[in-house]
Amino acid sequence: MLNTFSILFPVFALIAAGFISRRVNIMGPAAAGELSRFVVWLALPALLFDIMAKSDWQTMFKPDFILVYIIGSFAVFAVVVVWRLRQGCTLADASVDSVAASYSNTGYIGFPLMLLIFGSVSEVPTAIASVIVVSLLFGGAIVLIESALHAKLAWHLRLLNVLLAVFKNPLVIAPVLGALFAITPYSLPKSIDSFLTILAGAASPAALVSLGLFLADARENEKNNTPAVRNTALGLSFAKLILQPLLVACLALFVFEMQTDLAMMAIVLAALPTGTGPYMLAEYYRRDGLITAQTILISTVFSLMTLSVLLHFML
């Protein structure tokens, strides 16, 4: 167990550095948002483009991995939608909660953690999982929210809203452009390659510190919690940290019988805590983001334990 904790330590130490720097006011109240924008609009797109542009189609084409991750994510999403609707939530709020229960933090935690565990061979699967999360899963949530909030709009206008929301996301555009570049006979000019390498190198540390800053703000707002908010956030965190990786493990090991290393990667990616994307979605559609923020906080804190246990049995 000590060995697995040592693997996780650098990742969670960077999150803690961001958390502490915000709590002692080294970083100001706008720091989380500004650093997150740097990660989302510059550093992570550079990393995703670089990975996909330097990969061949044989490396990128992993149908079993893609199917397992899509089925596992959307199954949890659907279960939570039904659960929240039965509790009396609106479809829009249930959709935000559902994406919080199934949206793995592949971008911020996934890349550095997978690199520490599996090495550079994990980059393409992590990039694929990131695209699934920020495009398909996000898109599915947007479809339901748009349907709930704009039911009177024509279906083609709702579809247009969804497509615009998804394809305006740089984390979707960058890997798609990288994959398209990979099929050309060209290689990146040395100067551009160096630029992308330097910028991509900032993605992991900046993302983890940014997450720590966000968690510090979420912790500050915890005093606004009610028992109902706390219980719901705990339920969503359970779905994220336990239900989703168990489902992906069953699919990867017993249904699709994937290659062991690839199956382990899918399980670890599914076991990651909730990313900050669902909170941004709640803010964008002006839904109450308190449950989402608390789910991100709780799942991130408890993932140190659940990931340690998972890695203990895997390694």
Please report which confidence band the pLDDT of residue 151 belongs to, taking 50, 70 and 90 as the band edges. Answer: low
SS3 for 192-255 is HHHHHHHHHHCHHHHHHHHHHHHHHHHHHHHHHCCHHHHHHHHHHHHHHHHHHHHHHHHHHHHH
pLDDT digits (tens, 9 = 90+) for 38-93: 999 999 999 999 999 998 877 788 999 999 999 999 999 999 999 999 999 999 99
pLDDT at 162 over 80: no
- Residue 2 in contact with residue 311, Cβ under 8 Å? no
- List 274's β-bridge partners, or say none: 104
Please report which confidence band the pLDDT of residue 138 belongs to, taking 50, 70 and 90 as the band edges. Answer: confident
Please report which confidence band the pLDDT of residue 1 belongs to, taking 50, 70 and 90 as the band edges. Answer: low
Q: Rounded CA gap, 271 and 62, in Å?
A: 20
Mean pLDDT on 271-284? 91
- The pair phi, psi for residue 29, each rounded to 5°, is -65, -20
Work out the angle between the directed axes of helices 111-118 and 203-220 (0-180°, nearest 10): 130
Q: What is the predicted pLDDT for the residue at 289?
A: 86
Q: What is the mean pLDDT of the chain?
A: 91
Domain range list for the chain: 2-21+28-314
Please report which confidence band the pLDDT of residue 152 belongs to, taking 50, 70 and 90 as the band edges. Answer: low
Q: What is the predicted pLDDT for the residue at 6?
A: 82
pTM above 0.75, yes or no: yes
Helix, strand, or coil here: 56?
A: coil
285 C-beta neighbours (distance < 10 Å), count: 18
Domain 2-21+28-314 sits in CATH at 1.20.1530.20
- Please give the distance of CA 52 from its chain centroid, rounded to a whole number: 18
